[in-house]
Amino acid sequence: MLNYHERAPKRLQEHQGRNFADGLVLSKTSRFNQQIRATLPPQKELVFGWRQSMSLTEIREFQSVAGVLLGELGYAVTCH
């Protein structure tokens, strides 16, 4: 699991462009660029990066959808 980044570049090359229902088209290059961190080893300093990048409103919205599952999986739900 900790060596996922070693296989990620090859796996990401398998992705083709994506067409979404709303008409958005994501090219193969754009998709690869979105997932570029998957090609890097785990970085401890990024583990809780969401705490700085997500607003309180975004955290609440996410937890309103995923909060029960997060709790079942042992994750702390920080706000309601």
Q: What is the pLDDT of residue 29?
A: 83
Q: What per-residue confidence (pLDDT) applies to 79?
A: 62
Q: Hunting for tokens 């029960």 — which residue is that?
A: 68
- pLDDT at residue number 65: 92
pTM, whole model, 2 decimals?
A: 0.48
Q: Where exactly are the structural domains of the chain?
A: 1-43, 48-80
Instruction: List, in sequence order, the alpha helices (H) in the chain.
Output: 4-13, 28-34, 50-53, 56-72
Per-residue pLDDT, 28: 79
pLDDT for position 25: 78
Q: Which residues of the chain have pLDDT under 50?
A: none
